[in-house]
Structure 1
Amino acid sequence: MRLRKEGKTRAQAAAAVGVDKRSAQDWDKGIRVFYGGRVHSDGRVVKYSSQQILAGVKTPRTTYIHGERVDLDRVERVIDRRYLSLLERERLRDLHREGLSIRAIAVAMKRSPSTISRELRRNTVSARGYMPHAAHRASVQRRTRPKLPKLVADTVLLEYVQTRLKKKWSPQQISHRLVKDFPDSAEMRVSTETIYQAIYVHARGELKRELARGLRRGRAARKPRRDPNSRSRRFVDPMTSIAERPAEADTRAVPGHWEGDLIIGAGSQSAIATLVERSSRYLVLGHLGAERTAEVVRDSLIAAVTELPGTLRRTLTWDQGAEMAEHRSFTMATDMRVYFAEPGAPWQRGSNENTNGLLRQYFPRRSDLRAHDPDALRTVAEELNGRPRKSLDWDTPAERLAALINAS
């Protein structure tokens, strides 16, 4: 830090004291590292689990503020627009350090001046002044309300629910029947979700098992449901959308743009990789046999396209199947960029879909594709490439491809 104050760059200071680039970057930001976690300049403490430390994964799971452990998922969740988000608090810190007044900050952030004033007054919890991360975690802690669950607090309502559950009523039936049985009693109301929460969250021991047995499924634990909007990434390497594919691929005037897919055999136990050139409808087949993992598909496609001249290796369009998870290494080996069609849009790979239909004449559905070796696949491809096509003005794919290569 003394060298940095003297005007040295971070790299120069790191070299002078003999530390690596990452440590110098952390020190520059005021971050201190200890085994199992990191302490940030705003007082945030991030700890890692022992499994993550052994695996070398440093994804934060929990954080500590004022000695209390706080779940990061709960902290970062945006509940409503009326609450200040972490990004807004970071901007507030920057504007406040610039010396702007509370009203000027409110105008810049499109917030009420009272909101800004209250935020600075209540959530300045660090001796170094207003720190956005510390303020955000303090506000989340303050948001928590100790409250007894409704069915725990109301014994009459709990007895009603327990009696009906023992009679095999569903929580939905109980919730709606309460309205008919107690039309004038607002206290005798409970939602379906509250009943499920009482069974799976609040009940303990024999009571929990007894209540769970009353449900039709009889589950002792609730079946997790994934939010469809929070779908995990299929590939480690990010996909490039078909919308970013060069315009020349759409016109079909330039050869070298391909569409690919797999045709699957009986019981999903075998497969063949199919590649179709968009301009000429020229077909190349890749042998897979019994395996269709991402590594096997990648190696098969590399072997299939490396026989082609460089002018015919421009792009490849595929669907979002997991078999193309190794698309980045395929691109590095062949210099062909891979683009992915949108889900449920087979027409974006129309040439390939049409050719796969023609291939079923040679490889019927529910047949074992492992019976076809690479020589047999090459024979089938040559036969289709020698068949005249209406879309090519009755030229064959082989003739059209040769003409495009000569023209280019």
Structure 2
Amino acid sequence: MQGKDALRHELPVEKALRSGRTGRVPQSKLPRRSNRPWLEGARLSNRPAEVEDRAVPEPWKGDLAVGPENSGLVTLVKWRTRFALVGRLPGIRASMTVSELMQRMIHSLPSEFTKTITWDQGQQMAQHRRFTIATECEMYFCDPHSPWQRGSNENLNGLIRNFYPNGTNFNQVAGEEIAQMQDLLNDRPRKTLDWATPREKLGALLTGVALAS
């Protein structure tokens, strides 16, 4: 099983942002802004002000961890609790495929906890308006070359690479293995959470919502 050694050892407490860059910032491979109509009205500057307050348990950060042969994982992490959702793509990284997988992923949680997701400007979420209609979850996009605007997701993807290094073909990794990795990440105590686990933190929020309703 890929990542077998990583499953046997405790992960590092925290990791820095994992852009992998060691030199100058490369020229952007994104299409020109005028050719990215899906960004209109959905940039971070358009996000409601209350989302910036960490007391509001809503924002998620999202991205892809990619491999050869169009393989990849959709990775989502909750901003405040660091609770992660990881889903394997079926060898297709088209926008509609990514959107449909994300719909299934967030439907596993109450709607109170799936209000907004922050993504980079890649065209994998060009269908984000259809996604929002289906889920009532709004998508917002980071500024170019600004990984710190979704730093918790950069951290998550770095932790995932402890299990599956760069170059891993995710088409050859069973969905059960991905689910096991997700559970290990959510059940690991985190320094940033005062040594609670992401699952414990999310459970406390879910309990609070249930008591308030």
Shorter-normalised TM-score: what interval?
Answer: 0.7 to 0.9
**Displacement of 1:239 after TM fit?**
4.6
Partner of residue 304 from structure 1, selected from 105, 111, 120: 105
Which of 316, 319, 325 is the equivalent residue of 2:120? 319
Counterpart position of 1:386: 187
Paired residue secondary structure (1:262)? strand
The aligned counterpart of 2:137 is 336
* Match of residue 355 from structure 1: 156
Q: Distance in 2 between matches of 1:360 and 1:237?
A: 29
Matched, 1:256 2:55: no
Question: What is the rounded CA distance, in whole Å, between the counterparts of 2:182 and 2:33 in structure 1?
Answer: 38
1:99-133 Cα distance to aligned partner (Å, 9 max, x none): xxxxxxxxxxxxxxxxxxxxxxxxxxxxxxxxxxx
- Contact 1:239 1:340 (8 Å CA) reproduced: no
Unaligned 5+ segments in structure 1 are 1-229
2-structure distance, mates of 1:243, 1:233: 19
Once residues 81 and 33 of structure 2 are traced to their aligned partners in structure 1, the CA distance between those partners, rounded to angstroms, is 37
Q: Name the residue aligned to 2:44.
A: 242
The CA distance in 2 between the partners of 1:371 and 1:252, in whole Å, is 38
**Aligned equivalents of 2:120 and 2:38: distance in 1?**
16
**Stretches (4+) displaced over 4 A:** none
Separation of aligned partners in 1, 2:74 and 2:99: 10
How many Å separate the matches in 2 of 1:390 and 1:364? Answer: 24
Aligned equivalents of 1:244 and 1:378: distance in 2?
34
1:316 partner SS: strand
User: After superposition, what is the alpha-carbon deviation per residue over 1:155-212, rounded to whole angstroms, capped at 9, x for unaligned?
Assistant: xxxxxxxxxxxxxxxxxxxxxxxxxxxxxxxxxxxxxxxxxxxxxxxxxxxxxxxxxx
Q: 1:372 to 1:305 in 2, by over 3 A?
A: same
Task: Say if 1:231 and 1:253 are closer, same or farther in 2 by CA, change over 3 A.
Answer: closer
- Which one-letter code corresponds to 2:61 in the other structure? E
Contact 1:255 1:401 in 2 (8 A): no
Q: Deviations over 1:7-54 (max 9, x none)?
A: xxxxxxxxxxxxxxxxxxxxxxxxxxxxxxxxxxxxxxxxxxxxxxxx
Deviation per CA, 1:135-174: give whole Å up to 9, x if none.
xxxxxxxxxxxxxxxxxxxxxxxxxxxxxxxxxxxxxxxx
Aligned CA distance change for structure 1 residues 236 and 256 (closer, same or farther; 3 Å) = closer
Aligned to 1:233: 35
Greater CA radius of gyration, 1 or 2?
A: 1
- CA distance, structure 2, for counterparts of residue 343 and residue 309 of structure 1: 31
What TM-score comes out, normalization by structure 1 length? 0.42
Pick 1 or 2: higher relative contact order, CA cutoff 8 A, min separation 6.
Answer: 2
Distance in structure 2 (CA, Å) of the matches to 1:298 and 1:250: 24
Specify every segment of 5 or more residues in structure 2 that has no aligned partner in the other structure, as ranges: 1-31
How many Å separate the matches in 1 of 2:130 and 2:185?
30
The alpha carbon displacement at 1:290 in A equals 1.4
What are the superposed Cα offsets for residues 374-396 of structure 1, whole Å, 9 maximum, x if unpaired?
A: 32222111110000001000000
**Counterparts of 2:125 and 2:143, CA distance in 1:** 14
1:371 equivalent to 2:172? Answer yes
TM-score w.r.t. length of structure 2 = 0.79
Question: Structure 1 residue 330: deviation in Å?
Answer: 0.4
1:232 aligned counterpart, secondary structure: helix
User: Which residue number corresponds to residue 207 of structure 2?
Assistant: 406
1:339-378 CA deviation, whole Å, 9 max, x = no partner?
Answer: 1010110000010001110000111111111122332222
Letter in structure 2 aligned against 1:363: Y
Read off the aligned partner of 1:388 and give its amino acid letter: P
- 8 Å Cα contact 2:88-2:170 kept in structure 1: no
Give the alignment of 1:2-401 within 5 angstroms: 231-236=33-38, 238-266=40-68, 269-401=70-202
SS in 2 for 1:376: helix
Amino acid at match of 1:284: L
